[in-house]
Amino acid sequence: MKLHHLGLAVSLATSMSAVAEEKNIIENILVTGSYNAVEQAQLTSSAIVVEREALLALSPYSLVDALRQVPSLWIESQGGPGGLTSIVMRGAESNHTLVLVDGVQLNDPTNTRGGSVDLNHINMQSIKRIEIIRGAQSSIYGSDALAGVIHIITMEPGNETEVNAFAALGSDSFYTYGAGISGSMANFGYSIKAQKKDSGEPLRGSTADNNDVVAKLNWLNDSHQIDFSYRYFDGNNTTYPEQSGGPTFAQSDDLDTTNYVSEQAAVNWVWEVTPLWRSRISSTWFNREDDYQSPGIVPYSSVPANGAETDFTRTSTTWVNTIGDQELLWVNVGLETKQEKGISDGYLDIGFELPTTFDLDRRINSAFMNINGMLLDSFLLQASVRHDDAQGFEADQSVQLGMRYQLTDNLSILANRGEGFKLPSFFALGHTLVGNPDLQPETSKTMELGIEWQGSQINASINYFNNEYRDLVDFDAELFTNVNRSSVDISGVDGSVKWQSLDKQWHINGQFNYSDIDSPTPLNGRPKMTLGSSIGYDPDEPVSYNLQALWVDERYTTSLYTGEVQQYTLDNYVRLDANVQYQYDANWKFSLQVTNITDSDYQDDIGFAANGPGFYLGVRYDI
């Protein structure tokens, strides 16, 4: 671990969730989508919160599988654990979603996918909760939040000392194990968790293993709080090259290989200057090093052998002042500075090695203001504006306007309009062959109208959205370079319903996503509709059960295994998963997960067949 690289860091995420943590965190407090922690009813953007227990009931070992049951999200996975994953939020590109872990941004602009994040690189056992904000959020986060934000919050320090250990074995040589400890001493809190995971080889050629360490410290008194967090993650993947035809059709069994090390750190200081003024200074640091090697796709005229060693670092410092009464009228105002630097030492083998090296950096200075007002105790108005001055580009102003009206104690409506922008990735700007230094930022304008019902037994929501994406970066085959030209319009509806019985033993959830995409060319990996449901039974006895079903519509995909670009339509499918948990006593807990119970035969990419039925047996010991 390169601790000498650690910069000062954290975002509001780690700090304010630690403040709220007194063993039982208030579930409707969010740290995402605003400059200060707020209740979910104090946001005008639609938000989803998935707590730890709900995640583990959906999938104890795969974040990709768990998030497929979340409204507005589709997580595309190329076969096994070593393959690429893509986040599709309301039909947008995978690199249009900003992904945070404990307030630190993970999007890496040196990768070939424009900064998209592989969710296989986040282990379930370290997650406390996930907050998802939909719609453009550049007025809060600046660049990259074109479609929305996914914020993953890891385990926090607690009031009492807790020690735990866990292990699991599964099909196809899967195994994982780890341990954690958390607690507090006087005003000081701590939490440390470590995990080793090897996903085995459920699909031929597709493997992944990783090591994960997360540590958090906090200190607080009547007017000050200081938080520190650090995460180390390393591993390696193998897979058949994307669009190669996979194990079924690829004309060569040579595999892509990736070795990586990812580190992040954060420090945050919150000062309650007065009852009506909170000042927060936070800094974050993120570094990722990748060594990627690909044999290309036979016939090699399609994609020659290639590779790259990349090193990317992002640091940021933010100063936020929250002024006013958060029950009536409050303002967030502040400044941010961010530095990004990316180095890539790459090559393309065309009979000889052609260098594809770049070394780029940029600074982004920002100023922002966010105004919130409650009218008549039931009508919330919000307005945000942010000025981002990025080195080498014209300054950008992002505006967001929203309202939420509480019609009754249970029923509310919301409306929101946001603007987003995304700076071109370093890969798109600097790659020797296809890079274009004249690229301009991609932009979005998103609008949504929603209705939410919060009751003792039923929680439900439905949202209509209409999103416009402009100046999207695309590859021009004739010019053989990246250009700004694509425009995509996406409208649709998504929603969810959750019911629990009066005795809280039965839980039934349902969700759906529908996106109508207007694009000059068909977009890969975007089902027009998905439907998901889960049924849980948690009686007073020590055994609990959960069954999930997922229906996925047809999707387009592209393959090069014939030597020419071929587009296919993948069939729709239904998949069933189940999870059983047994609490033996106060210390021991056992779990059994069965995936793809009916052995559904489907593909997420041509030649990459779905994993068959999988079995995973886990045990956890808590002190």
Distance CA 469, CA 137 (A): 14
Q: Which residues of 348-373 are buried (b: 16+ CB within 10 A; e: fewer)?
A: beeeeeeebebebebebebebebebe
The whole-number average pLDDT for the span 127-150 is: 96
The whole-number average pLDDT for the span 537-544 is: 88
Query: Which fold is adopted by the domain 3-622?
Result: Maltoporin; Chain A (2.40.170)
pLDDT for 36 equals 85
What's the pLDDT tens digit per position in 180-231? 999 999 899 999 999 999 999 999 999 999 999 999 999 999 899 999 999 9
Tally Cβ neighbours within 10 Å of residue 478: 5
| Residue 8 burial (10 A CB sphere; 0-12, 13-18, 19+) | middle
Instruction: State pTM to two decimals.
Output: 0.93
Return the percentage of the chain with pLDDT > 70, whole number.
96
DSSP state letters, 315-356: EEEEEEEEEEETTTEEEEEEEEEEEEEEEEEEEEESSSEEE-
Confidence of residue 10 (pLDDT cuts 50, 70, 90): very low
pLDDT for 28 equals 64
| Residue 165 burial (10 A CB sphere; 0-12, 13-18, 19+) | middle
Residue 182 to residues 117, 350, 586, 587: CA-CA distances in angstroms? Answer: 28, 54, 18, 16
Distance CA 42, CA 377 (A): 11
More confident residue, 240 or 31: 240
What's the pLDDT tens digit per position in 410-427? 999 999 999 999 999 999
Secondary structure of residue 186 in the 3-state scheme: coil
Measuring CA to CA, which residue among 204, 34, 76 is closest to residue 607?
204
> Is there a contact between 331 and 323 (Cβ–Cβ < 8 Å)?
yes
Q: Does an H or E element contain 517, and which?
A: strand 506-518
Measuring CA to CA, which residue among 547, 545, 535 is closest to residue 583?
545
pLDDT for 302 equals 75
9 pLDDT above the threshold of 60? no
Report which DSSP code applies to 63.
H
What's the pLDDT tens digit per position in 244-259? 999 999 999 999 999 9
What's the pLDDT tens digit per position in 260-300? 999 999 999 999 999 999 999 999 999 999 999 999 998 87
Q: What integer best gives the mean pLDDT of the chain? A: 91
Distance CA 197, CA 299 (A): 35
Distance CA 142, CA 124 (A): 28
> Is there a contact between 445 and 417 (Cβ–Cβ < 8 Å)?
yes
